């Protein structure tokens, strides 16, 4: 254990020293630390009774707007699907990921394998605990201040519950992975057992829902109540306990200590079970560690496309017979075809999930949100979603710039290149907006058609403008490995998106107040955005013309 402790302590100390010595790293680190300290100071003030919530009865309003059973069912289903997905990875690569340095320099040494594993688990679980603590702290603070949800002890209980569930599921996955991959015969048996368990769980939930549906004739209500049935609660007991404990702050019940105790027993017991196994832990981790390192390196270098391509290689897709979109165009449009094909091949499944989210969200909002005034104005979230998607597109341009030494050598003008890139990043915004609009119209009964139409038009137009203008900071500060450049690029992106946002929001908000026709309002949104988008493309094109692909 001593060499492992030495290794970790020296690495942590050197990382801190390196951060303190480099202003580029120090400034963002201090800003983030101050922000975290501010949030947790607020939480502590609530513990001491100094701070008071804005809406002391906010939790009551929340429970009125969305029935707690609906929230419980959604969290339960999400946790179940996530846990099943994680456990299923045990049958292929698993999640026991070591650093390449460990493979090269630690694995050949006589350090006890169990010590290596115990140390790895301790490190991983500490990271999960800190990360989830950060999330709970960040979410908990606004929850308290807006809704009056007590941070202590409710949120603490919730946080501990989530850690126990993570530890239990990860231990189960690791154990299954090392046991199953110790021989081909074992893998076959493990596959059959895991698939049977997942199938049984789905079957129990589905069968219970069907029985409930026969009584109530309400599909959503049937799914919600099926998740609370005794059979499902018993079959998926750890998920049930975790959902109870995690939702304790919102539900306002703090009697989940028994559930938390059970989860803690599962977490500790599964850790001992894993550490007690005699199977080899090194070999199952080799492939996944090497692939994870390649993806991590690509992400660190800001190459999101490279990271996705490596992830495709990870899944074992080495060859494709036909492109998902037939070849089209010449020059710049051929570049567009290439970008679409690469995106569909590397992120097809992810895009499909993104497209499904608005439909699922609309169904849930339609069924679970009880206040009609809330349902009516739900479409106003669409431009916000478009803005988020546009910001995500920024990473695509960064990835594309990694190949600028190729694209700049092509006979394509810089403006056309930027236009193609903008169009390519805008396509998901359009698709999500259209799917959201149709889903809200179909599934959310009280949606105001005028608000829906104006929101959809605004999302599409504003989305294009955002994509166009936020190309500028990417081209000005292309090196995402440099944290300061990255931070400045993001701040500039917010500012530039604001140039389009302010006039758009003015038109968008004034239109209903002065009761102008919706088509006139839509035209006004377009007229406000088009000049900004054109300026964005022209400036970005000029910057790309001067962009030096070797200067990164």
Partner 1 sequence: MSDMTRQLSRDWSLPVLTVRNLTKYYKTTLAVDNVSLSVGDGEIVGLLGPNGAGKTTVLRSITGIIQPTAGEIEVDGMLLSKQERDVKRRLAFVPEVPNPYEMLTVMEHVRFIAMAYDTLSTFDAKCTELLRRFELYDKRNDLVLSLSKGMRQKLAIVCAFVHNARTILFDEPLIGIDPKGARELKDMVLEAKADGCSVLISTHMLDTAEHLCDRIIILSHGRMVAEGTLHELQERASMGSGASLEDAFLTLTEEHGAGETAPIP
Interacting residues toward partner 1 by CB under 8 A: 2-3, 6-7, 10-11, 14-15, 18, 99-101, 103-112, 184, 280, 282-283, 286, 293
Q: Are 256 and 243 in contact (CB under 8 A)?
A: no
Helix H or strand E encompassing 139: helix 113-142
* Rounded distance between C-alpha atoms, residue 159 and residue 104, angstroms: 36
* Rounded distance between C-alpha atoms, residue 454 and residue 505, angstroms: 11
Shortest reach from residue 2's CB to partner 1, in Å: 6
Q: 104 vs 515, which CB is nearer to partner 1?
A: 104
Shortest reach from residue 14's CB to partner 1, in Å: 5
* Rounded distance between C-alpha atoms, residue 519 and residue 338, angstroms: 36
With a CB cutoff of 8 Å and minimum separation 6, the contacts of 188 are none
Shortest reach from residue 182's CB to partner 1, in Å: 9
* Rounded distance between C-alpha atoms, residue 102 and residue 97, angstroms: 10
* Rounded distance between C-alpha atoms, residue 448 and residue 439, angstroms: 13
Q: Are 432 and 355 in contact (CB under 8 A)?
A: yes
Closest CA to 239 of 168, 142, 181, 177: 168
Shortest reach from residue 295's CB to partner 1, in Å: 15
With a CB cutoff of 8 Å and minimum separation 6, the contacts of 310 are 291, 294, 295, 298
With a CB cutoff of 8 Å and minimum separation 6, the contacts of 240 are 76, 232, 233, 259
Helix H or strand E encompassing 425: helix 414-443
Shortest reach from residue 279's CB to partner 1, in Å: 9
Q: 218 vs 280, which CB is nearer to partner 1?
A: 280
Helix H or strand E encompassing 33: helix 23-47
Q: Are 501 and 462 in contact (CB under 8 A)?
A: yes
Shortest reach from residue 301's CB to partner 1, in Å: 15
Q: 15 vs 405, which CB is nearer to partner 1?
A: 15
Q: 112 vs 216, which CB is nearer to partner 1?
A: 112
* Rounded distance between C-alpha atoms, residue 364 and residue 354, angstroms: 16
Q: 16 vs 202, which CB is nearer to partner 1?
A: 16
Shortest reach from residue 293's CB to partner 1, in Å: 8
* Rounded distance between C-alpha atoms, residue 302 and residue 292, angstroms: 15
Q: 110 vs 411, which CB is nearer to partner 1?
A: 110
Shortest reach from residue 17's CB to partner 1, in Å: 9
Q: Are 308 and 346 in contact (CB under 8 A)?
A: yes
* Rounded distance between C-alpha atoms, residue 479 and residue 552, angstroms: 6
Q: What is the DSSP string of 362-421?
A: HHHHHHH---HHHHHTGGGHHHHHHHHHHHHHHHHHHHHHTTHHHHTTSS--HHHHHHHH
Shortest reach from residue 186's CB to partner 1, in Å: 12
Q: 11 vs 519, which CB is nearer to partner 1?
A: 11
Q: 6 vs 320, which CB is nearer to partner 1?
A: 6
Shortest reach from residue 18's CB to partner 1, in Å: 7
Shortest reach from residue 275's CB to partner 1, in Å: 17
Shortest reach from residue 37's CB to partner 1, in Å: 25
State the number of CA atoms in the 13 A half-sphere of 172 facing the CB: 17
DSSP assigned state of 146: I
Q: 49 vs 184, which CB is nearer to partner 1?
A: 184
Q: 251 vs 296, which CB is nearer to partner 1?
A: 296
Q: 100 vs 133, which CB is nearer to partner 1?
A: 100
* Rounded distance between C-alpha atoms, residue 34 and residue 38, angstroms: 6
Q: 11 vs 216, which CB is nearer to partner 1?
A: 11
DSSP assigned state of 150: -
Cβ atoms within 10 Å of 520's Cβ, excluding its own? 11
């Amino acid at each position: 254990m001593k060499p492992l402790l030495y290794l970790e302590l020296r690495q942590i100390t050197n990382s801190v020293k390196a951060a303190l010595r480099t202003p580029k790293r120090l400034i963002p680190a201090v800003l983030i630390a101050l922000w975290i300290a501010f949030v947790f100071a607020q939480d502590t003030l609530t513990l001491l009774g100094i701070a008071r919530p804005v809406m002391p009865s906010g939790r009551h309003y929340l429970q009125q707007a969305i029935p707690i059973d609906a929230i419980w069912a959604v969290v339960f289903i999400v946790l179940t699907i996530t846990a099943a997905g994680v456990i299923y990875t045990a049958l292929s690569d698993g999640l026991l990921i070591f650093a390449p340095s460990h493979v090269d320099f630690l694995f050949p040494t006589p350090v006890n394998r169990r010590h290596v594993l115990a140390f790895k688990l301790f490190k991983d679980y500490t990271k999960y605990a800190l990360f989830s603590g950060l999330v709970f702290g960040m979410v908990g603070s606004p929850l308290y201040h807006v809704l009056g949800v007590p941070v202590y002890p409710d949120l603490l209980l919730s946080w501990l519950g989530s850690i126990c569930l993570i530890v239990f599921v990860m231990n189960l996955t690791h154990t299954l992975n090392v046991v199953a991959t110790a021989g081909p015969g074992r893998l076959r048996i493990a596959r059959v057992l895991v698939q049977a368990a997942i199938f049984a769980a789905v079957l129990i939930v589905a069968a219970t829902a069907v029985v409930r549906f026969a009584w109530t004739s309400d599909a959503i209500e049937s799914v919600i109540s099926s998740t609370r049935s005794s059979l499902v609660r018993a079959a998926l007991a750890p998920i049930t306990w975790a959902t109870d404990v995690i939702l304790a702050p919102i539900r306002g019940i703090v009697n989940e200590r028994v559930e938390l105790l059970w989860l803690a027993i599962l977490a500790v017991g599964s850790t001992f079970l894993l550490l007690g196994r005699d199977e080899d832990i090194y070999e199952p981790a080799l492939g996944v560690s090497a692939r994870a390192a390649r993806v991590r390196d690509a992400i660190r270098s800001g190459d999101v496309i490279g990271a996705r391509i490596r992830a495709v290689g990870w899944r074992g897709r080495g060859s494709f017979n036909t492109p998902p979109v037939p070849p089209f165009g010449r020059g710049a449009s051929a570049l567009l075809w290439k970008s679409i094909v690469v995106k569909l091949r590397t992120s097809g499944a992810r895009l499909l999930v993104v497209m499904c989210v608005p439909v699922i969200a609309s169904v849930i909002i339609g069924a679970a949100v009880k206040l009609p005034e809330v349902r009516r104005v739900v479409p106003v979230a669409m431009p916000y979603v478009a803005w988020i998607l546009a910001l995500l597109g920024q990473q695509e341009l960064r990835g594309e710039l990694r190949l600028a030494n190729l694209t700049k050598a092509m006979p394509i003008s810089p403006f056309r290149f930027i236009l193609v890139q903008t169009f390519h990043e805008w396509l998901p915004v359009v698709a999500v907006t259209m799917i959201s609009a149709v889903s809200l119209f179909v599934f959310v009964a009280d949606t105001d058609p005028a608000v829906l139409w104006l929101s959809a038009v605004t999302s599409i137009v504003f989305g294009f403008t955002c994509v166009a203008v936020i190309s500028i900071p990417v081209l000005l500060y292309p090196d995402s490995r440099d944290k300061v450049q990255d931070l400045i690029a993001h701040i500039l992106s917010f500012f530039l998106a604001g140039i389009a946002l302010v006039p758009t929001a003015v038109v968008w908000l004034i239109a209903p107040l002065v009761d102008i026709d919706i088509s006139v309002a839509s035209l006004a949104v377009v007229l406000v955005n088009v000049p900004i988008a054109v300026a964005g493309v022209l400036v970005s094109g000029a910057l790309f013309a001067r962009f030096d692909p070797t200067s990164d």
